[in-house]
């Protein structure tokens, strides 16, 4: 059996179409003809090329995902830094208010409400 090129489906998956062999020499499972062997070698070469293309696309996708992951990690780190800075600012404001109130209590300057 001779194979025709694979075709892309709408989902992107490859679909193999098999056509009858045009070999002039009869072949059997035990004794494939030279044409059968040449055909197999040709199609194996095509499949290897297709697999290499798929592999290249996968490597590219993985690289893109790694870049996106790094960006997300950097963004999270920036957000953590901003949150920490805000917490320090709020903490400093509260510490200043506590110090002022403590000083007022100690000096008896608490305003009567």
pLDDT band at 2 (very low <50, low <70, confident <90, very high): very low
What pTM does this model have? 0.50
Tell me the residue range of the domain where 44 lies.
Answer: 2-104
In a domain, 67, yes or no: yes
- Whether 8 maps to a domain, the answer reads yes
Rounded distance, CA 83 to CA 96, Å? 20
Instruction: Please tell me the total count of domains within the chain.
Output: 1
SS3 of residue 8 by DSSP: strand
Is residue 56 situated within a structural domain?
yes
The predicted pLDDT at position 3 comes to: 46
Tokens standing for residue 95: 């510490």
Please write the tens of the pLDDT for every residue from 51-85.
Answer: 999 999 999 999 999 999 999 999 999 999 999 99
Q: Within 13 A of 92's CA, how many CA atoms are on the CB side? A: 6
Domain membership flag for residue 110: no
Helix (H, G, I), strand (E, B) or coil at 24: coil
d(CA 79, CA 36): 63
In the predicted structure, residue 112 carries a pLDDT above the cut 90: no
> Residue 93: exposed, middle, or buried by beta-carbon count in 10 A (0-12, 13-18, 19+)?
exposed
**Is residue 15 in some structural domain?**
yes
pLDDT at 32: 84
pLDDT band at 8 (very low <50, low <70, confident <90, very high): low
Least confident interval from 2-16, 69-83, 88-102: 2-16
């Amino acid at each position: 059996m001779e194979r025709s090129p694979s075709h892309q489906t709408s989902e992107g998956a490859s679909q193999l179409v098999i056509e009858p062999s045009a070999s002039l020499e009869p072949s059997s499972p035990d004794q494939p003809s030279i044409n059968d062997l040449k055909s197999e070698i040709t199609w194996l070469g095509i499949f290897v090329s297709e697999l290499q293309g798929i592999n290249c696309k996968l490597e590219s996708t993985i690289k893109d995902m790694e870049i996106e992951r790094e960006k997300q990690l950097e963004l999270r780190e920036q957000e953590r830094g901003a949150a920490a800075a805000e917490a320090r600012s709020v903490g400093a404001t509260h510490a200043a208010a506590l110090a002022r109130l403590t000083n007022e209590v100690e000096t008896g300057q608490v305003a009567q409400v």
